[in-house]
Amino acid sequence: MTMQMYTTKLQVGLGLIEETRKLFEVWSPGMDTSDLQAISLEQGLFPQVTSRRLKNIIHEGFGARYLVSDDYPAKYLKVLAIELNSKVFNQLLLIYTCRSNIILSDFIKDVFWQSFEAGKNIITQEQSERFVLNSMDQGKTNVRWADSTIRRVSSYLTGACVDFGLMKKDTRNEFILLPYRIEEKSAVYLSYDLHFSGKGDNAVLGHQDWELFGLKREDVLDEFKRLALKDWFIVQSAGLASRIGWKYDTMMEVVHALAE
């Protein structure tokens, strides 16, 4: 498998949470990023944003994260943007933001959760910069970034974590770690999203996306068992092998069930 290289694309707007919600209000199935940009300009959706900045938000942010394959996953998130509370919806945005920006995914797993599990309650900007430097040493960027880029990218990482509720800013260079647990509806959505992507049951349970929420495979299985009690699916587990009886036949059925 080809390694996904780290980029600076987080600079387009970190979490882009409020911007994403606004864009879902005007986006409709079949609309590409050019269409979305045109209608956003026409409706004056972001009056304080320059046209160039709006283009970056829509093409490098919204499009890269939520128009991955035709209308996926935007067609699901548009429905859920209205029906889910912000805590759950923001967790779904985090999943897709991390899939599009692997550097953020790795930072959350390797810095945030390792710090949390070690009993630390602070992450410093210096730790973030060190993570970026180490990543370059491991060949995870196409070119070696300049010092100024390293500083900017490290601030994008901590800023995105603040946006998504994993941390809050304490001082200029320190961030307080916040308790962060996957919400029930987020877990249901992610489970089915992985299932409908073609992954087998055990691959779903062991998928790396769960690590964004500090969950290892055994934790995920426990989560599935809890969700099974609420009739989201059936779980049969024996040793290292698990079988899941999936209740819904399409992802849109899951979305409508979550929206109820």
Write down the pLDDT at residue 82.
Answer: 93
Q: What is the pTM of this model?
A: 0.95
Q: Where are the domains of the chain?
A: 9-84, 101-177, 184-259
CA distances from 156 to 14, 57, 123, 135 (A): 6, 15, 14, 15
Nearest to 98 by CA among 127, 68, 141, 53: 68
Residues 6+ apart with CB under 8 A from 35: none
User: Number of helices and strands (H, E) in the chain?
Assistant: 14, 7
Write down the pLDDT at residue 238.
Answer: 73
Write down the pLDDT at residue 241.
Answer: 76
CA distances from 117 to 114, 122, 167, 194, 257 (A): 5, 12, 14, 26, 34
**How many whole angstroms separate alpha carbon 198 and alpha carbon 183?**
23
Write down the pLDDT at residue 172.
Answer: 78
Write down the pLDDT at residue 113.
Answer: 97
**How many whole angstroms separate alpha carbon 247 and alpha carbon 253?**
10
Write down the pLDDT at residue 13.
Answer: 83
Measured between alpha carbons, how far apart are the two ends of the chain, in Å? 39
Residue with tokens 């991390």: 98
Residues (pLDDT < 50) of the chain are: 1
Write down the pLDDT at residue 2.
Answer: 61
Helix/strand/coil (H/E/C) assignment for every residue in 91-102: HHHHHHHHHHCH
**How many whole angstroms separate alpha carbon 74 and alpha carbon 30?**
10
